[in-house]
Amino acid sequence: MSVHIETIKGVAFLAYPETLAFLKSELKNRFKLDDSVHLKCYGDILYLENIEGIFSSSNPEEIAPQELPYWARTTFLKPFILHFDSIGEAASALKEIQRNWAPYQYQNFRRAALIQDKLPYINLKVRKFPVEIPKSPIGVYTLIDDKTILASALTSSYIPAGRIEFVEDHINPPSRAYLKIQESLTMARLLFDAELPGPKSRCFEAGACPGGWTWVLVNLGSQVYAVDRAELAPSLMGNPLVTFQAHDAFTLKPEDIGKCDWVFSDVICYPERLLEWVKVWLDSGLTKNMICTIKMQGEIDYEIVSKFAAIPDSRVVHLNYNKHELTWIHCEKSKE
């Protein structure tokens, strides 16, 4: 068997589709990588050989998840190069390392599919919400030519290749924004073991019009207090689980709304204003769970993003269904 595994240094970041430029910009502006740092590019993968001084540890296994780039859907934490001659050799070599492998491919698609067919089954299908992602180690691999694989058994995500897609409903939701809350709630469950909103939950959505997020919440059985200057879609305005108030949601105090199991915001506003609003809610003690979209105006201000990330029991992530924005998820464990 002509198989050879070559251990390499550093890490490799896999960007979401069409966001490679954002990932490169984050490495430059957040991590201060200058033009002298050489990044090898394999499709949407950026390989960084020297990570000395970039993270709190030079050992990739010790890098905290919140230190990694937001725009990377997963990170190859212990990358290696696998040289092989046949499809069977490639699959056997990967199986000897561990069971679960997900593909990312930008070329040699047919050959990659044949390798994947010989690997143990993992669910690569489009998911139906709600879904629970198993917390099982999953590696990622890609063919960089027909006889060479770049891979890592240790990655930063339990989601195959770091990207989840949902079955879309093209008829009922008032807007496609519903996909963002489905993904962010899935991430809250995965990252914090949070319970999804349900029949006993009271939720507050700021800037709810036209109602994509509210639509998801009422379909989970939650009561929703929805606030916006404009009304929601008629089907939601008549839903007995929805209480609507025409108002600027950010000028209402938490005491005006009352205790909520979840607080949500997909409002277009400056990140500084959103941060102030978030802190008011957290200081009030009237909610333990919040999900907010951090909308960007032009160049991303990573200093303000870091302030969201520094809030205890929080993570900032870029979702598959985000565009030029990030999502902040806060789930506080019960002290009872």
Beta strands in the chain (DSSP E): 4-7, 11-15, 39-42, 45-48, 72-76, 79-83, 101-103, 139-145, 148-152, 202-206, 223-228, 242-246, 262-265, 289-295, 314-317, 325-331
Q: How confident is the model at residue 1 (pLDDT cuts 50, 70, 90)?
A: low
Instruction: Please tell me whether residues 154 and 210 are part of one structural domain.
Output: no
Position 167 in a domain = no
Domain-embedded: residue 336 = no
Domain boundary among 162, 194, 217: 162
Question: pLDDT value at position 58?
Answer: 87
**Phi, psi at 7, each rounded to 5°:** -75, 135
Give the tokens for residue 277.
């609003």
Q: Residues 175, 179, 182, 187: is their CA dihedral positive or negative?
A: negative
pLDDT above 80: residue 335: no
- Average pLDDT taken over every residue of the chain: 95
How many folded domains does the chain comprise?
Answer: 2
| C-alpha separations of 73 from 17, 18, 125, 227 in Å | 10, 12, 17, 32
Tell me the CATH number at 256.
3.40.50.150
Cβ neighbourhood burial of 203 (10 Å; 0-12, 13-18, 19+) = buried
Q: Give the contacts of 218 (CB within 8 A, at least 6 positions apart).
A: 224, 236, 239, 241, 242
State whether 185 and 152 are in the same domain. Answer: no
* Cβ-proximal residues to 134 (8 Å cutoff; 6+ apart), any chain: 158
Domain containing residue 71? 4-162
Residue 120 and residue 60 share a domain: yes
pLDDT surpasses 60 at 336: no
pLDDT single digits (tens) 274-328: 999 999 999 999 999 999 999 988 889 999 999 999 999 999 999 999 999 999 9
pTM equals: 0.95
